[in-house]
Amino acid sequence: MTIRKTIIALILLILAAPVLSAESSYPPPAPPLDDSQFGVKIQRTMTLLAASTKEHRCPVKILFYGQSITQQKWTEQVADYIKKQFPNADLTIENRAIGGFASQLLVRTAEYDLYPFYPDLLIFHVYGDHNRYEEIINTVRSRTTAEILITSDHVPADADKRPDFADDRWTTFMATFIPQTAEKYNCELVDIHEPWKQYLRSNKLKAQDLLNDGVHLNDHGCFLLAEFVKPHLVYKTQFPADPCGMVTTFVVGKDLSWTDGKLTLEFSGNRIDVIASESNDTGSADCLIDGKKPSDLPELYAFTRPTYVHDVWPAIKRFSSEKPLLAEEWTARVFEANDFAKQFKFEVIGSKTGPDGAGVYNGKFVSNSGRIVIEPNDWYLKETCQFVKKQLPENFQTKWQVVPLFVDKYLPPKIDDPSKEYVTTLAQGLSNSTHKLQLIAEAGKPVPIKAIRVYRPPLNRQ
């Protein structure tokens, strides 16, 4: 063979060879000794994913929540894995993690980030106060039907200072607390702590080799964490999909039917959805929950995350109200702020309510209408300005919304893709108890409804 032919052959071999990604160049972790229980606690989600076909794409909502570790690209790798493994699922995947927000802060922001989103699966990791950690898990269980996957902590860089990556006192406590919490609340546990150490030993690595700094993951660390999570995202036919009966679907014409233009269902839970049917029917229906329009139920409104300070953190960690809400946009305008916003005044304006009062940084604010309540410790201006070492912008404003988690009238959606479920939430945020739904057809016209789906969280709110 001539030199020219040899060179051409080598080039063809190189072109034909698979291209290794940065992640695939890292040594994989050792297979678990026993993976028989992997995925057991998240089989409702996994069943929806696995049951999805090109003809019937099940809707699945997944939320990553936590702080900076959960903002890193291992979450993207896990999300990509889910998309590739279950290409027919109708996926909604969001990451609402907030860097620097330990559990004692995240427990506040979860009110507008987590519970209104109402995911099918929550993938969760956070540092901080263990009591607030448990409070978040408990509230997820009492206000949503989300299945929960939690990861234990990886090994920080300071473990290199101790023999065989021995844990400090707090890490030792959390290494027990997290599995106990997972067991208590029936969560899927991805226990990475000891397997992480074993990976370091097997590959003759230091803890720092997987980190960018003392705790945040580098590319290698992100790869490893994703590889530990992926085996738990598995469908297993031998385990029940929803052993607690959290989600129940009632098929119209089989489980319930229209009578004199009314569809009635007594149900237990805090959320109820309609799944549209494919038909030529075009009728709409008025909705009543316990004899009232959903808009008259104060618990069916939710706040959204406010806009940020210096593009770093939300300006306010939590809102509440003393009076019934309206669906509208709100603005808080800050004025007379001193050095790094250690002191300031503000006023609040609603797009429907109008000017609604003024307050000061260190006092509980209750707006004139009673629709906005802000606790003094829920402002996060000073902390943000000090962190970025910048003054508060002049004429700073933060905005948020109150959004409805309901409809008063069911209007059948246009079905453009017959493979998808077209879901309308009639009411979300009800007390987790017994309720009565009535759908009243407008002018007696047939309403294209395939089924009613009810969500009942496994715990009652305390």
CATH topology identical between 12-232 and 247-297+406-455: no
Average per-residue pLDDT in the chain? Answer: 94
Structure tokens at 377: 């410790």
Range name among 15-19, 30-34, 388-392 with the lowest pLDDT average: 15-19
Task: Give DSSP secondary structure letters for 133-200.
Answer: HHHHHHHHHHH---EEEEE-----GGGGGSGGG---HHHHHHHHHHHHHHHHTT-EEE--HHHHHHHH
Contact status, residue 214 vs residue 157, Cβ threshold 8 Å? yes
Measured over the CA atoms of residue 66, residue 69, residue 72 and residue 74, the dihedral's sign is: negative
CATH class for the region spanning 12-232: alpha beta
Half-sphere exposure in the Cβ direction for 79 (13 Å, CA): 19
pLDDT tens for each residue of 294-338: 999 999 999 999 999 999 999 999 999 999 999 999 999 999 999
Q: How far apart are CA 252 and CA 91, in angstroms?
A: 25
- Tokens (6 digits) for 7: 């060179």
Domain ranges of the chain: 12-232, 247-297+406-455, 300-404
CATH of 247-297+406-455 given 2.60.40.350, 2.60.120.260, 3.40.50.720, 3.30.360.10:
2.60.120.260
**Per-residue tokens: 48:** 């929806």
For 374-390, what is the mean pLDDT?
97
Residue 47 to residue 236: CA distance in whole angstroms: 8
Is the Cβ–Cβ distance between 165 and 202 less than 8 Å?
no
Q: How far apart are the first and last CA of the chain?
A: 81
Angle at 136 between CA 133 and CA 142, to 5 degrees: 145
Cα 288 from chain centre = 29
pLDDT of residue 370: 98
Please give the Cα distance from 145 to 12 (Å, whole number).
Answer: 54
State mean pLDDT over 285-291: 98
Tokens (6 digits) for 448: 């294209």
Is the torsion defined by CA of 298, 299, 301, 306 positive or negative? positive
pTM of the entire structure?
0.93
Residue with tokens 């003054």: 391
pLDDT of res. 23: 57
